[in-house]
Chain A
Amino acid sequence: MQVSLEWLNEYVDIKDLSPEEIAHGLTMSGLECEGIDRIGAKFTNIKVVEIQKIDNHPNADKLHLVTVFDGTSQKIVVCGAQNIEVGQKVPYASVGSTVLDRKTGESFQLTPAVIRGVESQGMLCSDDELGVADLKLQEEDGILILNRIFDNVTVGADVKDVLNLPEDTVLHVAPTANRGDEMSVVGIAREVATIFSRELKFSPMSCTNEIKAPNFEVKIDENVCKYYSVAVLKDLKVAPSPAWMQRRLLASGVRAISNIVDVTNYVMLEYGQPLHSFDLDKLNGYLEVRTAKEGETITTLDGEERQLNNNSVLIATKEGGVALAGVMGGENSEIDDNTKNIALEAAFFPAASTRRCAKSVGLRTEANARFERGVDMEMVKPALIRAIQLLVELCGAKFEGIAQAGNNALPEQLITLRYAQIKRYLGIDIPEETCISILSSLGFKLCGKNQLAARFSVPGFRAVDVTREIDLIEEIARIHGYDKIEPTLPDKTVAAEVKKEDLTVKKLCNLLLGKGFYEAMTSSLIGKPLYDWAGIKYDEAKNVEVCYSQSEDFCMLRQSVIPSLLNIIKYNFDNGSKNLRFFENAKTYTIEEPATEKTTGVKEKRILCGLITGNANTSNWQETEDVDFYTLKGVIENIFEELKLTQRVIYSPCEDVNYLHPKRSAYAAVLGKNKAPVAKFGQLHPVIKDRMKFNQDVFFFEIDLDALLENVNYNAVLVKELPVYPEVTRDIAFIVKNDVSYQDLAKSIKKFVSPNLFNGADIFDVYQGEHVEEGHKSVAFHIYLQDKSATLTDQIIDTEINKIKDGLKKFYSSVTFRE
């Protein structure tokens, strides 16, 4: 909303306050001021000159060299306008004057200019270069010919004085959703008066002897309209409204149209009560407020035909709708140049039904913005009377009477303010007198008080947002000033609880960061196109889909992180980055149970996921190698080791995940209560890789964080004593069939050695090729043995190694040892 300080000054004396002071005061107490505009001359140092001579420009057909006289000297300026003649008095800007850019409207200082080889000593100005195009001073384009518009224009005079531009300042304010009262000049004046401890010079108009309108009947549906009144006015003369009214409307951002329309807008801006005028002769003496029927239509003032439904509320004659209640008038009852008689509407439409009505047709207007925040029931009648008065004055209207329906009396609302509660909520004492004076200034009427409390009656214009004691306390706090409340800290010291699980997740993220993974954040809101592009299927029955979205790319919550990860790769590959490591602490979303009033039934699963591709190290001057399955597996193993789960992890082939290479991917499960895999990882399926036109292999991992964390033992690690006796290492190498897995061999070796001597086994060679039979592989292990209580003898060592050899031979039919 825009408010003119000139207008505001009519209701509260603010001449001694700067616009900045007022803006700051309003902003701090809850009416945010988003900008200050100064209205009036935006130009400086423009003089009236007389054109004495017009010559052609030597180098340009369309330009002239104009000799002008400013009262003391002659100047020659280059001018391209076609409407100039000798003898005209026109605005002249010399070098250093401020004028406006014709295209952008921004003001700038005129600098010396040479135009097509001729120096111009300033310029002659058009209306838009002076910022006065809105005043429509002349019809034609070109230089503003002052002597045609104004009498007695003197050469050398300041154009500012000639144009007599009103000086005003406009504040752009943004009332909060609960403050309908601040959508009016009077309401803002009341705030200003209270903030700066001044008197509000306003008393609502009243009418002592109300005349009932002859031959006019109104009817309402109380669900959609509490009170409806229409003033019947006849013999109006449609004309432009007076300049002072036009100026105020313009300053408020409303275009002047004609006296009748302008008066309704003017009163709405002033009192906050939207009004509407119908052409009386198009109504047949009857108006009713009712809910629209499904399928009914109305053509609104903006020329749009609107399809209505049972949320729409109509003002209707017996023939049909003539206006959308509280939103916009209809074309069929519009005021036009032939209008003589009008019906002027002032009504109270409840916030909820107006909002539904506006929504039903997708319209937002000044009127419904006010009804939605709540208008003052007690101000409906005074606003109507104010408008009648203006119409009689400005349009020569004959007032015939008022037709009304419903009740415009507001039940008295009383609130008790206990002084002790002020300190309890705000933490400071505010003297009783201050509280009472603030509330009184805001329009709350003191109805009684004792030592502990005071009782106030709520004015109609605050009936919506002030209903409780706490609301009064807020009023006191905001006017007294938040800055006067000395900060304190809650008087108890408490330690923050830090959950072990949160720490663990953070540890895993840090581990991945240390392994070179960048943290990603992808959109959890995705669309079918991304799934289709990635070739990933989702479960329709479990899908969390939104009802409406601006784009099909954002219409469901993801069930899989893979499309998002593929998107990261594509994005970065396209931008020339080839060596990528990313992880995300992401979520997937699926419907698992039916929703209830308080539960959604949607499961949000935490997935620690990521990808790796490109060179293992990216130094250009050293040898590099590409990452592979085992690079990724190393990371996965680190994660399990970080959680002390290494000994309990089992890897198994993962052949049923459609985006992974079936022979180069794995599940990892943790031995325990739940044997389901907690992670899957491996190489991107070559079919997807080819479809994406990726030139290098990519490796993914997905870890079900919730399942993984279930297995974590948060007990502190208890340290084992360090060994005193040395560990010995023996190597064994043997050939087995290709399909025997490392995991099985390692398990077997462990099984055959005496547990008290076994200190682990490491594979250090896997070989296939020359000297090894086809379908077989040679593997070599370091075997570590240690006795906690003695140095091992060769004899014992040989026995243990032989136990392994015998065991392996028995276990795997084709095993042969290599020395």
Chain B
Amino acid sequence: MQKQLEEILAQGLEKVQNAKNSEDIEEIKLEYLSRKSVLNNIKKGLKDLSLEQRPVIGAFANEVAQKIEQAVVEKEQGIYEKELNEKLEAERIDITLPGKNIPMGKVHPLTATIDEIVSIFQGMGFTITDNVNSPEVETEYYNFDALNFPKDHPAKDMQDTFYTKVAPNVILRGQTSGAQIHTMETKKPPMRIISPGRVYRCESVSARKNNLFHQIEGLVVDKNITFADLKGVLNEFTRIYFGEARPTRFRTSFFPFTEPSAEIDVQCIMCKGKGCRVCSQTGWLEILGAGMVDPNVLRGVDIDPDVYTGFAFGMGVERLAMLKHAISDIRLFFNNDIRFLQQF
């Protein structure tokens, strides 16, 4: 019986050795390790052996079973891995083929520019004006008179402003500054508003000029608002929008509705201040107009300039977007050429 077991062991191990796949393994398991296996049959015959032999053979039978099982387990692991690898290999695809097209739109670069700028000011507590306070069709009152434009200011020329046949005083606004007046008429200070919108100028359309474009207007009115605050807020804006390292400068300018007035330049993005065609060799790019709200403007909306002060600023969206994205023709924004929009 001992000999028989030794033969079983040798045979079993050999079969394990020769097993090719999981089916062979299953067969071996059935033959040697199941209830109906040859080993089990031997174990069933133990009762026929002498009392001395019974434990010896029994132990040996268990040992044989264990050895075969161990061999099976080792073999099985290898076969499993091999077969899994074969299966995975068979499922290989070309992952460099393009993905299934899930259509994807892109936001217009002007909207993206407006959103970025507005969000910087929102972070400083500026609220976007109501639509009704920023109409594109305006009266001369909001576009000029309330903004302290003298009665015969050159900007009122037909060559610059679109007058309409609606009424002699109804125009297409040439600037978003009217939103300042609308807001101050409907709200009492303190206020911090930001107002993006479309404006119109009576001009021949060219690569550099369009007869409509976008501006962003800002206004702060409160007690103790100073020119230093204006500088602080706009410095924060340029720091975030253009980056920490880009120098800016405030220089004196003139607008009818602010006094003192300033224009803010950033160092030319193209030449980094050395002077190039984009900055007309000055090294600087003008990006913002600003100033302290003129006392006449405050008085006109019943805000006492002896109690309140304020500042206002405005910037052209197309100009900023053109600088940022190296766009040389303003008309690209309004042609809606998919080949242009896809680039963003």
Task: Kindly identify which residue among B102, B157, B333, B342 contacts A521, using a CB–CB cutoff of 8 Å.
Answer: B333
Q: Does A317 contact B (CB under 8 A)?
A: no
Interface membership of chain B positions 144-165, coded 1 if the CB is closer than 8 angstroms to chain A and 0 otherwise = 0000000111100110001111
Q: Give bound CA distance, A569 to B262, whole Å.
A: 44
Tell me whether B252 and A482 are in contact (CB under 8 A): yes
Q: Does A365 contact B (CB under 8 A)?
A: no
Residues A546 and B251 in contact in the complex (CB < 8 Å), given A426-B227, A490-B220: no
* A to B CB contacts below 8 Å, 23 in the list: A176-B254, A425-B292, A426-B226, A426-B260, A427-B226, A471-B259, A473-B260, A477-B260, A486-B231, A490-B192, A494-B125, A496-B122, A497-B127, A513-B107, A515-B103, A548-B202, A549-B211, A557-B172, A577-B339, A597-B139, A597-B141, A600-B137, A604-B137
Tell me whether B165 and A545 are in contact (CB under 8 A): yes
Residues A516 and B139 in contact in the complex (CB < 8 Å), given A30-B253, A488-B232, A522-B336: no
> Which residues in B have their C-beta under 8 angstroms from that of A617?
100-103
Q: Does B242 contact A (CB under 8 A)?
A: no
Residues A547 and B127 in contact in the complex (CB < 8 Å), given A30-B252, A487-B235, A604-B137: no
Residues A483 and B212 in contact in the complex (CB < 8 Å), given A427-B226, A427-B229, A604-B135: no
Residues A582 and B229 in contact in the complex (CB < 8 Å), given A351-B152, A547-B158: no
Q: Give bound CA distance, A492 to B334, whole Å.
A: 40
Interface residues of A in 174-188 (CB under 8 A from B): 176-179
Q: Does A537 contact B (CB under 8 A)?
A: no
Interface residues of B in 181-210 (CB under 8 A from A): 190, 192, 198, 200, 202-205
Within the complex, the shortest CB–CB distance from B110 to chain A, in Å, comes to 6
Tell me whether B281 and A35 are in contact (CB under 8 A): yes
> Which residues in A have their C-beta under 8 angstroms from that of B295?
468, 470
> Which residues in B have their C-beta under 8 angstroms from that of A515?
103, 105
Q: Does A595 contact B (CB under 8 A)?
A: yes
Sample of 13 more A-B contacts, CB < 8 Å, known A425-B292, A516-B103, A575-B339: A355-B152, A427-B228, A477-B260, A487-B228, A546-B165, A547-B165, A557-B136, A572-B336, A575-B337, A598-B141, A600-B170, A617-B103, A618-B101
> Which residues in A have their C-beta under 8 angstroms from that of B309?
424-425
Q: Does A621 contact B (CB under 8 A)?
A: yes
Q: Give bound CA distance, A355 to B107, whole Å.
A: 45
Tell me whether B222 and A490 are in contact (CB under 8 A): yes
Q: Give bound CA distance, A587 to B200, whole Å.
A: 14
Q: Give bound CA distance, A179 to B261, whole Å.
A: 14
Tell me whether A494 and B169 are in contact (CB under 8 A): no
Q: Give bound CA distance, A602 to B261, whole Å.
A: 33
Q: Give bound CA distance, A568 to B225, whole Å.
A: 47
> Which residues in B have their C-beta under 8 angstroms from that of A518?
105-106, 108, 336, 338, 341-342
Tell me whether B226 and A488 are in contact (CB under 8 A): yes
Task: Kindly identify which residue among B127, B152, B232 contacts A496, using a CB–CB cutoff of 8 Å.
Answer: B127
Q: Give bound CA distance, A634 to B93, whole Å.
A: 32
> Which residues in B have their C-beta under 8 angstroms from that of A600?
135, 137-139, 166-167, 170
> Which residues in A have their C-beta under 8 angstroms from that of B190?
492, 494
Tell me whether B235 and A554 are in contact (CB under 8 A): no
Q: Give bound CA distance, A176 to B128, whole Å.
A: 31
Residues A572 and B254 in contact in the complex (CB < 8 Å), given A498-B122, A514-B105, A545-B164: no
Interface residues of B in 90-134 (CB under 8 A from A): 97-108, 110-111, 121-128, 130-131
Tell me whether A595 and B167 are in contact (CB under 8 A): yes
Interface residues of B in 315-344 (CB under 8 A from A): 333-339, 341-342
Tell me whether A595 and B165 are in contact (CB under 8 A): no
Interface membership of chain B positions 277-316, coded 1 if the CB is closer than 8 angstroms to chain A and 0 otherwise = 0001110000000001011000000000000010000000
Interface residues of A in 633-662 (CB under 8 A from B): none
Closest A residue to B200 using CB positions = A525
Q: Give bound CA distance, A571 to B339, whole Å.
A: 11
Tell me whether A604 and B136 are in contact (CB under 8 A): yes
> Which residues in B have their C-beta under 8 angstroms from that of A485?
227-228, 231, 250
Interface membership of chain A positions 672-699, coded 1 if the CB is closer than 8 angstroms to chain B and 0 otherwise = 0000000000000000000000000000
> Which residues in B have their C-beta under 8 angstroms from that of A599?
139
Tell me whether B162 and A28 are in contact (CB under 8 A): no
> Which residues in A have their C-beta under 8 angstroms from that of B110?
521
Tell me whether A550 and B204 are in contact (CB under 8 A): yes
Closest B residue to A580 using CB positions = B338
Tell me whether B166 and A601 are in contact (CB under 8 A): yes
> Which residues in B have their C-beta under 8 angstroms from that of A424?
224, 226, 309
Tell me whether A597 and B339 are in contact (CB under 8 A): no
Q: Does A589 contact B (CB under 8 A)?
A: yes
B residues touching A (Cβ–Cβ < 8 Å)?
97-108, 110-111, 121-128, 130-131, 135-139, 141-142, 151-154, 157-158, 162-167, 169-170, 172, 190, 192, 198, 200, 202-205, 211-212, 220, 222, 224-229, 231-233, 235-236, 249-254, 259-263, 280-282, 292, 294-295, 309, 333-339, 341-342
Q: Which of B102, B231, B260 gathers the greatest number of chain A CB atoms within 10 Å?
A: B260
Q: Give bound CA distance, A482 to B107, whole Å.
A: 38
Interface residues of A in 101-127 (CB under 8 A from B): none
Q: Does A29 contact B (CB under 8 A)?
A: yes
Tell me whether B280 and A523 are in contact (CB under 8 A): no
Residues A478 and B336 in contact in the complex (CB < 8 Å), given A617-B101, A619-B100: no
> Which residues in A have their C-beta under 8 angstroms from that of B224?
424, 491
Closest B residue to A30 using CB positions = B252
Q: Give bound CA distance, A485 to B234, whole Å.
A: 13
Q: Give bound CA distance, A493 to B205, whole Å.
A: 43
Q: Does A370 contact B (CB under 8 A)?
A: no
> Which residues in B have their C-beta under 8 angstroms from that of A549?
162, 202, 211
Residues A477 and B106 in contact in the complex (CB < 8 Å), given A176-B253, A568-B336: no
Closest A residue to B157 using CB positions = A359
Tell me whether B225 and A621 are in contact (CB under 8 A): no
Q: Give bound CA distance, A490 to B106, whole Å.
A: 37
Q: Does A428 contact B (CB under 8 A)?
A: yes
Q: Give bound CA distance, A177 to B226, whole Å.
A: 25
Task: Kindly identify which residue among B106, B136, B153, B229 contacts A489, using a CB–CB cutoff of 8 Å.
Answer: B229
Q: Which 7 A-B pairs have the closest CB atoms?
A: A516-B103, A427-B228, A427-B226, A30-B252, A176-B254, A474-B260, A595-B167
Tell me whether B251 and A27 are in contact (CB under 8 A): yes
Task: Kindly identify which residue among A35, A493, A513, A587 contacts B105, using a CB–CB cutoff of 8 Å.
Answer: A513
> Which residues in B have their C-beta under 8 angstroms from that of A498?
122, 127-128
Q: Does A158 contact B (CB under 8 A)?
A: no
Q: Which of A356, A547, A548 gathers the greatest number of chain B CB atoms within 10 Å?
A: A547
Residues A28 and B170 in contact in the complex (CB < 8 Å), given A498-B122, A599-B139: no
Within the complex, the shortest CB–CB distance from B64 to chain A, in Å, comes to 53
Q: Does A810 contact B (CB under 8 A)?
A: no
Q: Which of B100, B124, B141, B338 gathers the greatest number of chain A CB atoms within 10 Å?
A: B338
Q: Give bound CA distance, A522 to B198, whole Å.
A: 11
